[in-house]
Amino acid sequence: MSSNTSRRDFLSAAISAGLALPVLGASSAMGQQHSAKSAASPVKLDYRTLGRTGLKVTTVGMGCMITSDPSVVARAADLGINYFDTARGYQHGNNERMVGAALGAKRKQIVLSTKSEAPNKEELQKQLETSLRELNTDYIDIWFLHAKDNVADVTDELIEVQQRAKKEGKIRFAGVSTHKPLQLLPWMAQKGVFDVALTVYNFTMDASMDQAVEVAAKAGIGVVGMKVMAGGMHQQKPGDPLYKKLTQDGAMLSALKWVINRPNITTTIPSMTDMYQLDENLRAMGNPLSASDEKLLTAHLDAIRPLYCRLCGQCDGDCQKGLPVADVLRFLTYADGYGQFALGRERFLELSAEHRAVRCGDCADCTVKCPHGVQVARRMARAQELFA
Partner 1 sequence: MKIAGLLLTVLLPAGMACAQNALDCRIAPGWEASGPIRQYTAENLFDYKDGAAEGYLSYGFARMSSIDCKSGSDTLTIDLSEMNDADAAYGLFTSNRDSQLPIAKIGMAGQIQPQSASFAKGKYYVEIVEVAANAEADHTALMKAFATGIEQRLEGRETLPEALLWFPKENLDTVRLVPESVLGLKLLKRGYVAKYSQGQAFVVLEATPESAAEVMKKLRERFSGATSAQIGDEAFQAKAPYLDGICVFRKGRYLAGYANLPDAQQAASLAAKLAARLP
Q: Does 276 bind partner 1 (CB under 8 A)?
A: yes
Dihedrals φ, ψ of 49, to 5°?
-95, 130
Q: Does 147 bind partner 1 (CB under 8 A)?
A: yes
The contact mask relative to partner 1 for 38-57 (x = CB under 8 A, - = no) is: -x------------------
The contact mask relative to partner 1 for 291-330 (x = CB under 8 A, - = no) is: ----------------------------------------
Name 83's bridge partners: 111
What residues between 87 and 146 interact with partner 1 by CB under 8 A? 89-94, 97, 119-120, 122-123, 126
Q: By C-beta, is 161 or 376 nearer to partner 1?
A: 161
Strand ranges across the sheet with 196-200 = 62-63, 83-85, 111-116, 140-145, 171-178, 196-200, 222-226, 267-268
Q: Does 163 bind partner 1 (CB under 8 A)?
A: no
Name 115's bridge partners: 144
Applying CB under 8 A, the span of 48-56, 272-280, 305-313, 358-366 interacting with partner 1 comes to 272-280
Q: By C-beta, is 47 or 143 nearer to partner 1?
A: 143
Q: By C-beta, is 276 or 373 nearer to partner 1?
A: 276
Q: Does 373 bind partner 1 (CB under 8 A)?
A: no
190 contacts 215 by C-beta, under 8 angstroms: no
49 contacts 55 by C-beta, under 8 angstroms: yes
CA distance 161 to 156: 9
180 contacts 202 by C-beta, under 8 angstroms: no
What residues between 189 and 218 interact with partner 1 by CB under 8 A? none
| Near partner 1 by CB under 8 A: residue from 75, 172, 347, 379 | 75
**Please, what is the minimum distance in Å from the beta carbon of residue 282 to partner 1?**
14
Q: By C-beta, is 222 or 344 nearer to partner 1?
A: 344
Burial class (CB in 10 A: 0-12, 13-18, 19+), 26: middle
Q: Does 277 bind partner 1 (CB under 8 A)?
A: yes
Q: Does 72 bind partner 1 (CB under 8 A)?
A: yes
Q: By C-beta, is 32 or 71 nearer to partner 1?
A: 71
Strand ranges across the sheet with 56-58 = 32-36, 43-49, 56-58
| Near partner 1 by CB under 8 A: residue from 271, 281, 333, 384 | 271
Q: Beta strand 43-49 with 32-36: parallel, antiparallel or unpaired? A: antiparallel
Size of the residue set binding partner 1 (CB under 8 A): 37
Q: By C-beta, is 10 or 334 nearer to partner 1?
A: 334
Applying CB under 8 A, the span of 21-29, 211-219, 224-232, 296-304 interacting with partner 1 comes to 224-232
Q: By C-beta, is 79 or 326 nearer to partner 1?
A: 79
| Near partner 1 by CB under 8 A: residue from 48, 148, 172, 179 | 179
Applying CB under 8 A, the span of 17-25, 64-72, 203-211, 259-267 interacting with partner 1 comes to 64-72
Q: By C-beta, is 126 or 372 nearer to partner 1?
A: 126
| Near partner 1 by CB under 8 A: residue from 3, 4, 41, 71 | 71
**Gyration radius from the chain CA atoms:** 21
Q: Does 369 bind partner 1 (CB under 8 A)?
A: no
Q: Does 81 bind partner 1 (CB under 8 A)?
A: no
What is the torsion angle, in degrees rounded to the nearest 10, for the CA atoms of residue 211, residue 337, residue 269 and residue 52?
A: 20
Q: Does 347 bind partner 1 (CB under 8 A)?
A: no
List of residues contacting partner 1 (CB under 8 A)? 39, 65-66, 68-69, 71-72, 74-75, 89-94, 97, 119-120, 122-123, 126, 147, 179, 226-227, 230, 234, 271, 273-277, 339-342
